[in-house]
Amino acid sequence: MMAANSLEEAIKQAKKVLGDKADIPSPKIRPEKLDSDVERQGTSFDKATDNAIAELEEMENAVSAYKNGMDQIAAEYETEDFNLNPRSKDDAKKIKNARQIFSDYFAAEQAKADKEMKQLKELGKHLVQLDNYTPLQKCR
């Protein structure tokens, strides 16, 4: 025998098997309430998933803007002479070393931002899975 699609259908099938003398009790919990709770929570879940996807996109945009901004700042320091004389051998060495410090810093920041973006992309894959989730169908 195939499984019933609703409680009402299961009751009808059971009555056929049990006969007219059998008494099938009514459930103490209303299936309609259970259905309503699942439907309400499903709607809330869908909204939360949509919000999480939107927030993720905003975070990706923020990280991208961070990377671009850091690139612009780095470009400023690449040509900065820090009010020293670049023609002086001693000052030129100081300028070069200072530029290298900034170059290393900005390279490290870019690497952190790249790692962050990679993590966000991976998180996005999981959010797509959540977005594809279909809540429990009605029990009745």
Confidence tier at 133 by pLDDT (50, 70, 90): confident
Half-sphere exposure of 62 (CA within 13 A, CB side): 8
Long-range contacts of 39-48 (CB under 8 A, 24+ apart): 39/135, 39/138, 41/135, 42/135, 42/136, 45/133, 45/135, 46/135
Once rounded to an integer, what is the mean pLDDT over residues 95-105? 97
pLDDT at 50 over 60: yes
* CA-to-CA separations, 134 to 22, 49, 62, in angstroms, rounded: 38, 12, 31
- What is the average pLDDT score of the chain? 92
**pLDDT at residue number 31:** 85
- Lowest-confidence pick of 24-28, 62-66, 89-93: 24-28
pTM above 0.85, yes or no: no
